[in-house]
Structures are given as C-alpha cells and as structure tokens.
C-alpha cells in the first residue's frame, strides 16, 4: 500500500466567516502528481494556502508529513517591484539552510547557477526581477523550487500567462520532480494539459466533485456536475447579497 503524504478530513476553509471550500476528505499518496481543477472561485488557491500552512482550517483537518514544502503562489501575488536580482530571488530557495540573511557559500552560488541552467535561464543571475518577462519570472521561480529540495511541492497556476514553449519546459521539470518521488499538487486551468500530463486530478466547485485517476475524474458527467454546483453556488451568493439589503444600497449609490 502507498504511503500517505497529505490527509484531509472534513476540511472546511474560508475567510472571516464565509466558507469557500467544504467537505474535503481524502488522502494524497507520497510521490503522486495531482492537478487541482475547477472554475474561478472554486477554492483551488484557498486549498493550496491551507496545505502550505498560510490559512488555518475553519474546521476539519489538513495534515501533511513532509519535512519541507515548496509553495509557489500565483504570480499576481508577487511583488515584482521589490529591488532584487535573479540570483537573490532564486537563492531564497536556500533559506532553510542559510536563513533569510545568510551569506551564500561558493557551493550555494554554484547551486544557483545550476538551477538557473536547469530552467533555461543561463547568464541572467544579475538581471533585476522587474526586467523579466512573465515566462522568465516563472522559470526563475521554478529554479527556486529546485533549490528548496522539498518533498511536497505546491504550484498555483504556474502556466498562467506563459507561452507554449515555457509551458512545455515547466511540465518537463514537474515530471522530473515526480520521477524523483516528490509529491506534487498543481492548480491548472487547461483541462487538455491535465489529461496529457497529470495522473491524478481533484475537481473542485466549492466542494470536492471528484478525486482520483484523471481519466475518471474529467468525464463529461463530473464536469457537468461541477458547472451545475458552481452555478448554484453563485446564484445562492447573489440571493444572499440581495436579501442582505446591500443590493438596494448599491443600486441607490
């Protein structure tokens, strides 16, 4: 039997008192590669934040047994104006070893150069991060993940706004990490990409719709159910908004 890396038990997540994802129960096996899919607002990023330990459950359990986690949030959540160069951004992957203000040894510098080589960014060590394209930045963030050397890797929409060549390179890296036995969860919007490269899929719509082998999960019946649950959820939220009186206030202003 495969070992478990991540366990959810009746997990409910949300913000303030609003639940955005509920009733998630299940396990992720060590060494598995799972795509997390669902419509906008279905709770994918929220789940990644909970696994990363940034968001506490409202109820239920979210537990992992990885000694190290690498978490890559959506690019939109990164501050690109921060005055840093590529080697500094990538070198942050070493902070568990060196601390945030630690000096990098000769070996560390070599490791940064190697990681940049692995993502096709040779020679860009001293480039300011605000001069990078979206695809180049994503490659650098993957180089940082390489240095983090984590057993559990969480990637939130890594293929967003990157071209097909970059997507292919990033998928190759993810498959390489998978072959190394790491456990990987990736939020992906491109269903065809998921079908091609991800053995396992978790389909969300504010609750789990299906979870398991990708071919089974992404059948027409489940996708239709996810759309229906999503539409019901949006309608319920609109009704609650109208009933609260905010709608009348908004219409008057």
Ligand X SMILES: Nc1ncnc2c1ncn2[C@@H]1O[C@H](COP(=O)(O)OP(=O)(O)OP(=O)(O)O)[C@@H](O)[C@H]1O
How many C-alpha atoms does 148 have within 13 Å on its Cβ side? Answer: 24
Q: How far is the CB of 233 from ligand X (least distance, A)?
A: 9
Residues 5, 152 contacting (CB under 8 angstroms): yes
- Give the interface with ligand X as residue ranges (CB under 6 A): 15, 20, 38, 40-46
Least distance to ligand X, CB of residue 20, Å: 4
Closest by alpha carbon to 5, among 57, 60, 67, 85? 67
Question: Among residues 18 and 221, whose Cβ is nearest to ligand X?
Answer: 18
Which DSSP letter does residue 64 get?
A: E
Q: Tell me how crowded residue 165 is: count the other CB atoms within 10 A of its CB.
A: 10
Contact 153, 145 (CB under 8 A): yes
Q: How far apart are CA 182 and CA 185, in angstroms?
A: 10
In the complex with ligand X, which residue's Cβ is closer, 39 or 112?
A: 39
Strand, coil or helix: 230: helix
CB of 238 to ligand X, least distance (A): 13
Total length of the chain: 253
Distance, CA of 122 to chain centre:
26
Residue 229 · residue 207 · CB < 8 Å: yes
Q: Residue 128 to residues 19, 21, 158: CA-CA distances in angstroms?
A: 40, 38, 21
Task: Give the sheet arrangement for strand 18-29, strand by strand.
Answer: 18-29, 4-15, 59-64
């Amino acid at each position: 039997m495969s070992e478990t890396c991540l366990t959810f038990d009746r997990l409910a997540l949300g913000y303030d008192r609003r639940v955005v994802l509920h009733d998630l129960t299940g396990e992720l096996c060590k060494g598995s590669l799972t795509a997390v899919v669902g419509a906008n607002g279905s709770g994918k990023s929220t789940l990644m934040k909970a696994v990363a330990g940034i968001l506490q459950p409202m109820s239920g359990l979210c537990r992992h047994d990885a000694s190290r986690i690498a978490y890559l949030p959506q690019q939109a959540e990164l501050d690109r104006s921060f005055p840093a160069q590529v080697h500094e951004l990538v070198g942050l992957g070493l902070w568990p070893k060196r601390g945030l203000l630690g000096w990098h040894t000769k070996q560390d510098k070599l490791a940064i150069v190697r990681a940049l080589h692995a993502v096709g960014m040779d020679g860009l060590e001293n480039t300011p991060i605000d001069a990078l394209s979206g695809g180049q930045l994503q490659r650098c963030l993957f180089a940082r993940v390489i240095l983090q050397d984590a057993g559990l890797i969480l990637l939130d929409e890594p293929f967003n706004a990157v071209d097909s060549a970059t997507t292919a390179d990033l998928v190759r890296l993810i498959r390489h990490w998978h072959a190394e036995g790491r456990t990987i969860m990736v939020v992906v919007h491109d269903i065809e990409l998921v079908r091609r490269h991800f053995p396992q899929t978790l389909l969300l719509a504010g609750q789990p719709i299906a979870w398991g082998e990708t071919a089974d999960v992404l059948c027409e019946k489940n996708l239709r159910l996810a759309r229906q649950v999503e539409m019901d959820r949006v309608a319920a939220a609109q009704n609650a908004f109208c009933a609260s009186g905010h709608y009348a206030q908004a219409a008057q202003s």
